[in-house]
Amino acid sequence: MGDVVEWAKQVWAKTPRDVISASGADTERYLHSQLAQQIEGMRDGDRVWSLVLEPSGKVIALVGVMRRNATEFEIDCDAGDGEVVLARLQRFRLRVETELSLSIAEGEVADEVERERIREGWPRGGREIVAGETIPAELPMLHDLVSFTKGCYPGQELVERMDARSAASPFEIVRIDGDLSVGSEVVIDGEAIGTVTSAADGAMLVRARRKRPS
């Protein structure tokens, strides 16, 4: 999935995004304990993709994390995801010196970039990712979004258990050619195999059952 991750780094990360600023002496340690990706050890200017998970393991959002310096980080997420990500990070912010503030995205994602996103298969909050419902293993680029060597974080148990057992989620996000509208069922050989989550110019992203007609 390296190509789509690189595309997202170069293109999707530069779209209008909600941004949470995090600052304080405990910020690096706190974010490392809360996010699925390796945060400790990042250098100034480094940016990584990560998942923010519920303790149950369900996805809250796919976010970017940038270290500005030893005490200041930025967490950027798809427009509309900022409030739920902020609420999730605030929930466990007990006895740590970390302040969090949210700036809401200005502007809209350009139509051409949205079409590129669908062609590339990059998931978007509110579309392929539904906060509190999506399972991490549904995302095709999961291994680029989490660390399997770091310590504990909320939601780690589900991620690690499925990986250790090589278990597949019942659904996955796939790109399929077609022109159905968002919310439509995709039917193959008379069997409904999933639901369209995004669509543009003859390409669709579909939350599809893994066991389905080819």
E-strand stretches of 108-202: 171-177, 185-188, 191-200
pLDDT of 1 strictly over 80: no
Q: For the segment 56-78, what is each residue's pLDDT rounded down to a tens digit?
A: 999 999 999 999 999 999 999 99
Q: Torsion angle of alpha carbons 83, 85, 90, 96, nearest 10°?
A: -140
The stretch 45-57 carries a mean pLDDT of 97
pTM, to two decimals = 0.93
List domains and CATH numbers for the chain.
Answer: 2-164 (3.30.1360.120), 171-209 (no CATH)
Check residue 214 and give its pLDDT: 65
The stretch 12-39 carries a mean pLDDT of 98
161: confidence class by pLDDT, cuts 50, 70, 90: confident
The stretch 97-124 carries a mean pLDDT of 97
Phi/psi at 87 (5° precision)? -60, -40
Check residue 165 and give its pLDDT: 65
Check residue 62 and give its pLDDT: 98
Three-state SS across 44-62? CCCEEEEEEECCCCCEEEE
The stretch 135-161 carries a mean pLDDT of 91
**What tokens were used for 90?**
């605030």
Check residue 169 and give its pLDDT: 83
166: confidence class by pLDDT, cuts 50, 70, 90: low
The stretch 33-39 carries a mean pLDDT of 97
Q: How far is the C-alpha of 85 from the C-alpha of 112, rounded, in Å? A: 27
Q: How far is the C-alpha of 207 from the C-alpha of 174, rounded, in Å? A: 7
pLDDT of 167 strictly over 70: no
